[in-house]
Amino acid sequence: MANFEKTFIMIKPDAVRDRKSGLIIDRIERCGLTIERMEKCELNTELVEQHYAHLADKPFFGDLVSFMTSGPVIKMIVSGLDAVAKMRTLMGATNPLDAAPGTIRGDFAHDVNENVIHGSDCLDNAQIEIERFFGQA
């Protein structure tokens, strides 16, 4: 049975810089999901390090933090039936080389670090990330 869910989505600095935000938002709405909240903002290093803490021991962590603080992002709360899994499917694989054509990363991303979009990977993390980026709703 499908459940109504909210998930945390972020259009990353590469896509904002390349003016792909509108195309990406269009894809989210086309599959029946709703943008509940949306704001353009710049992230500080501390917030990015917290958000990606599970990757702190990876060799690319420094590049990831630099990239995510390199320019504005557009953060969103997206809702709908099975919104968490639906957004992960719509986004495609983390590495654009593996992301299927027709997915957001498959069509817009060219680099495993600069890969256009973030989406929560499970319902528990969606709640944590919504609170981290938007505060208590």
Residues with catalytic roles: 118
Residue 104 binds: one of ligand IDP, Mg ion, none (C-beta under 5 to 8 A by kind): none
SS3 of residue 33 by DSSP: coil
SS3 of residue 12 by DSSP: coil
Q: How far is the CB of 60 from ligand IDP (least distance, A)?
A: 4
3-state secondary structure 52-100: CHHHCCCCCHHHHHHHHCCCCEEEEEEEEECHHHHHHHHHCCCCCCCCC
Cβ atoms within 10 Å, residue 23: 13
| Residue 118 lies near ligand IDP (rule: CB under 6 A) | yes
One character per residue 70-109, x = contact with Mg ion (rule: CB under 5 A): ----------------------------------------
Residue 113 binds: one of ligand IDP, Mg ion, none (C-beta under 5 to 8 A by kind): ligand IDP
The residue within the footprint of ligand IDP, chosen from 38, 49, 121, 123 (CB under 6 A), is 121
